[in-house]
Structure 1
Amino acid sequence: MAGKRIVLTADRSLMTNYRGNFLYGFIACGPYEVLPEWVFDKVFCPAVETDPITGEAKVAQVGLRRVESALLQGYKRDEVFIANPEMLEKSIGPDTKVVGINVMDPLGMAPVTTTMSPEKLSYVAMKFKKMCANIIQLKKKYDFHVVVGGNGAWELAKSDRMQIHGIDTVVVGEADELALDLFHDLEKGDAPELMHCFVKNIQNIPIIEGPTINSLIEAMRGCGRGCDFCDVNKRSKKDLPLERLQHEAKINLDYGFDSIWLHSDEMLLYGCDNRDFIPNRDAITELWKGLKSLGANFIGTTHMTFSAVAADPELMRQISSINKQDETGRWLATNLGIETVAPNMVKKHLGVKTRPFAPEEWGSVVREGAKNPK
């Protein structure tokens, strides 16, 4: 077996559709010794559909799909391969030059994991260590380079951690624009140990061409609210246009998903161009309608803020109507993020997260936002 030139993968805690429920992903933040591994693997987080002969993962994270599309601008289709992490031997061989890994919380250092597994090895960390141990053995045999990127890459951005896990390069930030050049440098053994990068032009974010975990597509990047504890605040807000979102959504619907989930850092700021952060109702309802028209049963999203919800309760009712939530009885569950309602803490740390309301109103904003029926 010659192996694929470029192999992309992620640890097993990420290579799952979580039985259609993102909340099951939090189980991976819990301690490894509490839940038997077979229960995690078979009951809560079964692996994505995988070709049993080649080990190809048919569904992957949005981040891996972005890198895949970026690489296909310079590599041939059969040279770039997304692999199930438990079947890497099927795709890695003497012709393999680079293995790219997407990470979310590889060492279990993120807030949810440290809360759920404060003194014990978490599932996310265990699955990452297990995958890396296998990659290290394959690397000794075939001498390829390993690069890591993704939201959790910062955890590995130290030489000793990289060495322990067999990593040559860590990319912190957004690799969309630089992925192709980076992989060429990796092949030549000329890549830096650590890179920090951010996308400057929205046109340079490549369009995905394969189905994603739970049909999640990226609607926007960045936020603009300025919370000082949030890495997202380092990115300028970029709204991806409806036409390309429809293209990416259709790929997932054609694969067999019946819903579309929009990833954002603050979905209700999509299309917003005012300093008061009042939601652009027309832009958001047009987005929901445009995706629903493709035949999706439901359009969900990952993040909103209470301030945006409270600023326009009618918008939430319209989203509910487009989704036909009254008919189906389905809720739109999303992450809201309260952090604190103490006025002095809000002023110090939350930037303009309270807008269009004043920091002193944040407590009442949270209470009113929670009352919104949909």
Structure 2
Amino acid sequence: MGSPKIVLTASASEASEWRHSIWQQMLSATIPAKHAHKWRNPELLINESWPDGRAKYVPNGLRMVETLLLREYSEDDVVVCYLENLEKFIGPETKVVAIHAHNPLGISYATDVYSKIAGKNLIPVNAAEFLKIVKHPVIEKYRPKIVIGGPGAWQLERAERLDEFNVDYLIDGEIEKVFSDLFKRMMEGDPTLERIIKLPKSTQPTVEEIPVVKHRSTFGVVEITRGCGRGCQFCGPATKVGRSFPLEHIMESARVNAREGATEIMLATEDMFLYEQEANFETNIPALETMLRNVKKVPGIETLQMSHITMAPVVKDPSIIERLTPLIVPFSHVQHKESTDADHRMTDPIIGLETGSSRLFDIFMKGKAYPYKAHQWRDVVLKGMETLNKHNWFPFCTFIIGLPGETDADTKESLNLLYDLRDAKGTFVPTFFVPLEDTRMQKKESAKLIEMTDLQWEFFYTCWKYNLHFWKGSASTMKFSLGVPLYYYMLGRKLFGNGIKYPLYRFAGVPDRFMRKHLYLDFTGFKRSKDTMHAPVDEILPGFKSVREKGLNMIDATQLHHIGSSVSAAAGEAIQAAS
């Protein structure tokens, strides 16, 4: 039998189900490739294949491409595999190799930062893996067309490296509505088709146009919504209205994953509370309860994993967490000794806190707090965290350092919020601002490590001290007490200057009483409590009544019918515009 016409692939770190943890997978991909053999568990990049060499699981976006192709081609013509099996499938009959690119050059929010802490000119594991794919000898031998897509494909365009990697086509955007026509033209080498294909919002598919994937995805991903509509300027999905998938679509997606060996389902969404949302971003609790109960009943599924939530709905209606906890926490694979669950289980959804500065919040992300206002954000975070922790939700929280125009006063507000969270149960991950494609901030300048202020370094390393204590206990810092000073004097100060010194020493466990003159926060005498944290406020009154109030720039699901009427007519025009 000849080689398949189409081969789809992704890097091992993107496909990995290591520890069934999406955030551990992401952080592991930040490790510099040069040092990966010393710093990472070798099991991270070991993924399972079927006996014929096809991948058992890959990112859901790649599975969607496969599913769309299988409408036109047979299973013999379309193969999904990992890097180590490319040589087995790519041959003289192979016309296209499509590569899923989550972070091909290592310049997303987290990876670029953490890899460079270890030295100059280092790239993270997933960027190194991408290079291995595009430079693979079997691809260079047979020269199939190379098509790149995925959430990080924009990096190649921005860096002007398409020629270097012999990329024939780069696709950016949601593809389901226009894929059939586009791919046909790619296969035929249509000279009128642009090399860089940017799909506008007018080609955004309805949920009815998005098929159920044919095969298992990494983490058993099942989409329950797409889009968000809260309007955060640094985020692409935030500018797209949230769309909920029909329950039967969700159920069939879960069954597909279970049939091929998945024991866990990850409910993928920009915000779980948007599922079947009502007007003004009101959470539809009965719909969520029905969906969760049904997914749990799928034969073979043992655990559920959440992806993203937002904090404001938790504060507005704490009963959301009270009612959903029995359907989520006992079915989580994650455990923590501070959980009050009978089996110490907890759930760790991702929440973007981003900043403690009410000024920056009001400029870049005011819709995130709706129905509360920017000046209420600190209280919203603290009250929401209290409610979540009480019910064994220990979230994975991200912050963005270096937002455009950030001042020392802004950073101090973020440090104040971090101090107020000192007894919170959760993980706090600082990232650095990167202007992502298809966002309102795509033309802004990235934050640069070399320009980090002393206060920003303090924020960065205080977050990681929190995380170390939460997951490993306060005694865990002892192992860093010798290594950190060595790092500072041998490398750290050469790369980043003296401002990194005292924040690093705090991370290593040096008591604050010896450094209080050099740091903004002072933890002298503080001992972390294992009890539920208490917010300084009992009730927060909403500042907005409707998403249509001036300046919010939000889109809730009730506006879908306004959008849907124009999308179909515009889609055909958009395909022609790509020509």
* Equivalent in 54, 61, 64 of residue 63 of structure 1: 61
Letter matched to residue 50 of structure 2: D
Contact 2:36–2:125 (Cα < 8 Å) also in 1: no
Is the 8 Å Cα contact of residues 63 and 214 (structure 2) preserved in structure 1? yes
Deviation digits for residues 49-70 of structure 1 (CA, Å, limit 9, x no counterpart): 1135x42102121101111111
Which secondary structure state, in structure 2, belongs to the residue aligned with residue 227 of structure 1?
A: coil
Give matches, 1:159-308, under 5 Å: 160-190=160-190, 191-197=193-199, 198-275=203-280, 277-295=281-299, 296-308=301-313
SS of alignment partner, residue 117 of structure 1: helix
Could you tell me which amino acid in structure 1 is paired with residue 144 of structure 2? F
- C-alpha separation between the residues in 2 aligned to 1:41 and 1:174? 34
- Counterpart CA distance in 2 for 1:80 and 1:194 is 23
**CA separation of 1:180/1:328 partners in 2, compared to 1, >3 Å: closer, same or farther?**
farther
Aligned residue for 2:180, secondary structure, equals helix
**2:213 is matched by which residue type in structure 1?**
I
Q: Distance in 1 between matches of 2:328 and 2:24?
A: 23
Task: Give the deviation of 1:130 after TM superposition.
Answer: 1.2
Task: Give CA deviations for 1:160-217 in whole Å, capped at 9, x if unaligned.
Answer: 4111122111111111222222222121112421111242322211210111101111
Amino acid at match of 2:382: R
Once the two structures are superposed, residues 306-360 of structure 1 have per-residue CA deviations (whole angstroms, 9 ceiling, x without a partner) of 1122222221122211236234331111110111122211111103110122222
Q: Percent identity?
A: 29
For residues 29 and 221 of structure 1, the distance between their equivalents in structure 2, rounded to whole angstroms, comes to 26
Give the residue type in structure 2 aligned to 1:359.
Answer: A
1:51 is matched by which residue type in structure 2?
W
Decide which moves more: 265-274 or 13-22. 13-22
Query: 3-state SS of the aligned residue for 1:287?
Result: helix
Shift of 1:44: 2.8
AA in 1 matched with 2:343:
T
TM-superposition CA deviations, 1:216-250 (whole Å, max 9, x none)? 11111110100011111232221111111111111
Superposition pairs for residues 346-365 of structure 1, below 5 Å? Answer: 346-365=361-380
1:99/1:122 CA distance change after superposition, 3 Å: same
| Paired residue type of 2:355 | T
Structure 1 range deviating more: 63-72 or 322-331 = 322-331
The question of whether the paired residues in 1 share the 8 Å contact of 2:54 and 2:79 is answered with yes
The residue aligned with 2:411 is none
> For the pair shown, which has the larger CA radius of gyration, 1 or 2?
2
Shift of 1:40: 4.3
Q: How does 1:138-177 map to 2 (within 5 A)?
A: 138-158=138-158, 160-177=160-177
Over residues 109-136 of structure 1, what are the superposed CA-to-partner deviations in whole Å (9 max), with x where a residue is unaligned? 10111221234211111111111110xx
Report the secondary structure of 1:148's partner residue: strand
The answer as to whether partners of 1:266 and 1:304 remain within 8 angstroms in 2 is yes
Query: Is there any run of 5+ residues in structure 1 with no aligned partner, and where?
Result: none
The aligned residue for residue 130 of structure 1 is 132
Aligned equivalent of 1:83: 81
Specify the SS of the correspondent of 2:375: helix
1:63-112 per-residue CA deviation (whole Å, 9 max, x = no partner) reads 01111111111112221110112210111111111111111111001011
Checking the alignment, whether the CA contact within 8 Å between 1:12 and 1:86 is kept in structure 2 is no
Equivalent residues of 1:50, 1:58 under 8 A apart: yes
How many Å separate the matches in 1 of 2:197 and 2:138? 25
What residue in structure 2 maps to residue 99 of structure 1?
97
How far 1:41 moved relative to its partner?
6.9
- Counterpart contact for 1:249–1:291, Cα < 8 Å: yes
1:329 alignment partner in structure 2: 344
Separation in structure 2 between the aligned mates of residue 93 and residue 272 of structure 1, nearest angstrom: 48
Gapped regions of structure 2 (runs ≥ 5): 331-340, 392-579
2:108 corresponds in structure 1 to 110
| Distance apart, 1:273 and its partner CA | 2.5
Distance 2:46 2:74 in 1: 31
Whether the 8 Å CA contact 2:174–2:205 is kept in 1: the answer is no
Q: CA deviation at 1:254?
A: 2.2
TM-score under structure 1 length normalisation: 0.93
Whole-Å separation in 2 of the counterparts to 1:81 and 1:351: 44
In structure 1, the residue matched to 2:123 is: 121
Question: Is 1:86–1:131's contact at 8 Å kept on the other side of the alignment?
Answer: no
After superposition, the Cα gap between the structure-2 partners of 1:177 and 1:236, relative to the gap in structure 1 and judged at 3 Å, is same
- In structure 2, relative to structure 1, the CA distance for the partners of 1:345 and 1:324 (3 Å cut) is closer
